[in-house]
Structure 1
Amino acid sequence: MSAADFAAANLSRATGAGLDPHEYLRVTGELPDLDQWGAAFIRAARGHLARAGRAATAISAGEHFQTAARWFHFATLGPNPERALAAAEADTAMGRALALLEPAARRIEGPDFAGRLRGPAGAAATTVVVPGLDSSKEEFHEVIDALLRRGMAVFAMDGPGQGVLAATTTVRADYHHVIGQVADALGVERVGLLGLSLGGYYVAESAAREPRVAAVATVSGPFRLHWDVLPPPVRDLLAQRAGGQEAARRFAAQVDLSALAPRIACPLLVVDGGQDVIPGVTGGEPLARLAPHGQYLHIPHGDHLLGNARPDWLAVAADWLSAALT
């Protein structure tokens, strides 16, 4: 795939994550080939670190650190021999941002997760935001902000094979064990889950098996994966995050909610985009249909993660989670 094609395919994801579209087009437009993706995005991120160092106020510095975290994260999406470094830099930059902008935010880690808890102390509800195969806790700023504005506490996390943990761990299909660790660490009896992309499978699997899950929303989550039909780039990415092709095959075979969907006793909202069609990936409609309390929100023009259709679903999903939990 050419650099231009890869950049175009990720444009709505990048803008949905808060990257300035003009800067994104400028950085990607100067790429001679896709192999330079990581280096170019790391340079852009370091430019924002430099701006933070020159900022006149703590607010401005914090905003630049936050933007740098986004660029470092997106450096991990394309070819990049320094992917682990970029993920670590994204984590560090976000920590520096929140230290200035939200001093009460707390970093919390466990055996299989790392993340940050934001929002008011004593909030009536807590939602855990779970990323997907190659996303991370630094990506979904607008989603997190929408939940925070509704008074919830929000824990944005990386789990096995994700974000800052991708270099040292591999993906696991029994994600409810991870969510159980998170609930223990947060000290909550009820928790909401919002999962994006493969994170949609993770939160649905968790809702079927972890009794503390009180409400769950999925966005562009798979119901089932068919390894032999997946496009080669997706198989390659899954092999990277699973620790090899055979491990990736075994993981894909476990991503199947057919038997688990009827066991999801809590309220469930499934959000899908009509333009999100990846061979080998079954969309979320069967999940909503088979779950006892499932609701389905289909946005015909939405792409994967629906970054091109935020007004059509984000407020709806945030309001729904707030109501379901409080």
Structure 2
Amino acid sequence: MSVAMMSVADFAAANFSRATGAGLDAHEYQRVTGELADLNQWGEALMRTARAHLTRAEQAATAISAGEHYQVAARWFHFATLGPQATVTAEVDAGAAVEADAAMGLALKLLEPHARRIEGPGFAGWLRGPADAAATVVVVPGLDSSKEEFHDVITALLLRGLAVFAMDGPGQGVLAASSTVRSDYHRVTAQVIDALGVERVGLIGLSLGGYYVAESAAREPRVAAAATVSGPFRLDWDVLPPPVRQILIQRAGGQEAGRNFVRQVDLSALAAQITCPLLVVDGGLDVIPGVTNGETLARLAPRGEYVFIAHGDHLLGNARPDWLAATTDWISEQLT
């Protein structure tokens, strides 16, 4: 079903597991989206919800409560950008991303005062966790995701004592309005490792971030372990659903640029060059036309492992007990 034919209820339901994975309360999500008359209201309605949490933060009795509300506001601002591209204007998209970034900064200032903002020419993000952590993991978002989204993955890594750098790269999150996606993501990963000042990192990439992680693992020797979740092995422009093409056109800076980017998203020649341990996690219900899932990547990579969860959807938000703890345990074990 195309987005143009979707009702609000259908669109909200299709994104429910992604929303809860991003840290939105399930009941609040259902209430907010259930009040929408049509999808044109998506961006503004979710931004209003985010601002209500900003107000709660300003009125909170304790720093912890304020920080928690700022953190929730950041997630709602980010999710406001994930409405259909035909209904979320560029101004709303860019504005919500900036507000998500600012709200997360306020949250971390209160909740994790030792968190550090680190930026470079092609990235921006927050380094969280203990300063003396045994290892650092970089969480890489996908096509329309951002450093504010993968709440459950970041929390699981922090609980295992790892330092975590949650980032936006070119065409992502707070950088989406000022940059475009690039297929040679290892160059961005190299900038990040240089800025972090560590000798090696682990990578976890989700959705298109899975391609970015695999491409980086093949070409950047300081990647010590990598995990992909719902990442593509290759893309085919002619078969991709129109909504995905629309996002690619926007994030790449035009249709021809989008086509060129998609042509580069192909791990056929790179898989054999991934010499570090690689974990590939796929869901059996994650069937997007034009997107080849990761079984072939795991098979061709010399140290690849494959986890297939038959009932898992895209990003496996409906199957967290089946992969989240095991995946974060795996990368912790590989690095420490």
Give the alignment's TM-score, normalised by structure 2. Answer: 0.96
Q: What SS does the aligned partner of 1:204 have?
A: helix
Q: Which amino acid aligns with 1:195?
A: G
Deviation track 1:102-144 (CA, whole Å, cap 9, x = no partner) reads 0000000000000000000121100000000000000011100
* Partner residue in 2 for 1:293: 303
Find the aligned partners of 1:256 and 1:303 in 2 and give their Cα distance: 22
* Partner residue in 1 for 2:334: 324
Find the aligned partners of 1:90 and 1:17 in 2 and give their Cα distance: 12
Find the aligned partners of 1:27 and 1:39 in 2 and give their Cα distance: 11
- Please, what is the CA RMSD of the aligned residues? 0.6
- Structure 1: which 5+ runs fail to align? none
Q: Which amino acid aligns with 2:15?
A: N
Find the aligned partners of 2:176 and 2:52 in 1 and give their Cα distance: 25
* Partner residue in 2 for 1:80: 88
Match runs of 1:159-198 below 5 Å: 159-198=169-208
Find the aligned partners of 2:242 and 2:88 in 1 and give their Cα distance: 18
Q: Which amino acid aligns with 1:76?
A: T
* Partner residue in 2 for 1:9: 14
Q: What SS does the aligned partner of 2:127 have?
A: strand
Q: What SS does the aligned partner of 1:259 have?
A: coil
Match runs of 1:147-296 below 5 Å: 147-296=157-306
Question: How big is the shift at 1:80?
Answer: 2.2
* Partner residue in 1 for 2:322: 312
Question: How big is the shift at 1:209?
Answer: 0.2
* Partner residue in 1 for 2:128: 118
Find the aligned partners of 1:34 and 1:80 in 2 and give their Cα distance: 9
Residue 46 (str. 1) matches residue 45 (str. 2): no
Q: What SS does the aligned partner of 1:155 have?
A: strand
Question: How big is the shift at 1:257?
Answer: 0.2
The equivalent position to 1:23 in structure 2, one of 28, 31, 37, is 28
* Partner residue in 1 for 2:109: 99
* Partner residue in 2 for 1:37: 42
Find the aligned partners of 2:53 and 2:9 in 1 and give their Cα distance: 23
Find the aligned partners of 1:16 and 1:210 in 2 and give their Cα distance: 29
Give the alignment's TM-score, normalised by structure 1. Answer: 0.99
Find the aligned partners of 1:70 and 1:288 in 2 and give their Cα distance: 32
Percent identical pairs in the alignment equals: 79
Could you list the runs of 4 or more consecutive aligned residues of structure 1 that deviate by over 2 angstroms after TM superposition?
Answer: none
- Structure 2: which 5+ runs fail to align? 1-5
Question: How big is the shift at 1:2?
Answer: 2.2
Q: What SS does the aligned partner of 2:323 have?
A: helix
Question: How big is the shift at 1:77?
Answer: 0.5
Question: How big is the shift at 1:18?
Answer: 1.0
Q: What SS does the aligned partner of 1:298 have?
A: strand
Deviation track 1:218-269 (CA, whole Å, cap 9, x = no partner) reads 0000000010000011101110100011100000000000000000000000
Length, aligned pairs only: 326
